[in-house]
Amino acid sequence: MRASSKSAQHRTIQVFAGLLLAIALALTGCTNAGDDSSDSGAGGSDKAAGLQAEGNGKGAAGSKADREQPKLTDTHIIRTAKLTVRVDDVPEALDEAREAAEDAGGIVGNESTSRDGEGRERSRVVLRVPQDKYEDVLTALEGTGKLLGKDAKAQDVTDQVVDVESRVKSQRASVARVRELMDRATKLSDVVTLEGELSTRQADLEALLAQQASLKDRTSLATITLSLTENGATADAQDDDPSFGDALGGGWDAFVTALRWVAIVLAAVLPFAAVVALLALLWLRVVRPRWMRRAAGDGQGED
């Protein structure tokens, strides 16, 4: 009896100890799960914050990229203009044209002056002015007198400029490669061949550089050709409406001109008329009377 009671107590203690162990294990598992969940939550928060920061960075970079427009290639334009202006004083207008070009930072090129059949002076001058002052100088020249003609042209040579620059760069690299080969050449035949090739490539490079310089000059300075003509009496009369005095003076001029032409024609015909009159006088005074007397004597002899 005593042994059975002891075994029962022993089982009770074992069961109670097993329950305590199970409760302890359960509590330990819950604690670890809570820690893991908190760690994962913190890690998720950090990751979310990192993604948000990255997104904000990308958004800022994107907005900055949207604000920054791609840089366009500079345009290269050749501008030329031809002006014909009638002025009262050609030398004075020519001085004004030179001054306008020089004040704009330009230069005065070829210049020629002549006079027409009526004694009016004519001048032609070529002006080179910077592109940014082209319109201002053109307006100033048009205001020197009465504009008779204007021909302005603009030629876009951007593609040509870019192409020449690229070819110059490539040709310089080609010349440099040939020079390197010459430095490493050991045979005389190779040196001679490379020298010929170098000479050809250098000539091509110089031609490209000359073309590049010409394009730069024509695109940096616009060309204006100005022709100046002087006012005359005939030109001034044509500009105004004719009056009664003008009509009377024109009629008198026409009458005098007609008389002059009649006198010229008479002067031209007078020698021939004098010869004809002399022949007629000889016929009437000498030849005809003799012919009449001879005819009369022949008639009496037949009787």
* pLDDT in 10s for each residue of the chain, 303 residues: 444 444 555 555 555 555 555 555 555 444 444 444 444 444 444 433 443 444 444 344 444 444 444 344 578 999 999 999 999 889 899 899 999 999 999 999 888 888 877 778 889 999 999 999 999 999 999 888 899 999 999 999 999 999 999 999 999 999 999 999 888 888 888 888 888 989 999 999 999 999 999 999 999 999 999 999 988 634 443 445 566 666 666 777 787 788 888 888 778 877 887 888 888 888 787 777 877 777 776 665 555
Alpha-carbon torsion (132, 136, 138, 140), positive or negative: negative
User: What is the pLDDT, as a whole number, of residue 14?
Assistant: 58
Model's pTM, two decimal places? 0.49
Bridge-based pairing of strands 77-87 and 221-230 is parallel
How many CA atoms lie less than 13 Å away from 20 in the CB half-sphere?
A: 6
Q: Residue with structure tokens 């070819």? A: 167
Cβ proximity of 227 and 122 under 8 Å: yes
Structure tokens at 59: 């958004």
CB atoms within 10 A of CB 91: 13
User: What is the pLDDT, as a whole number, of residue 276?
Assistant: 82
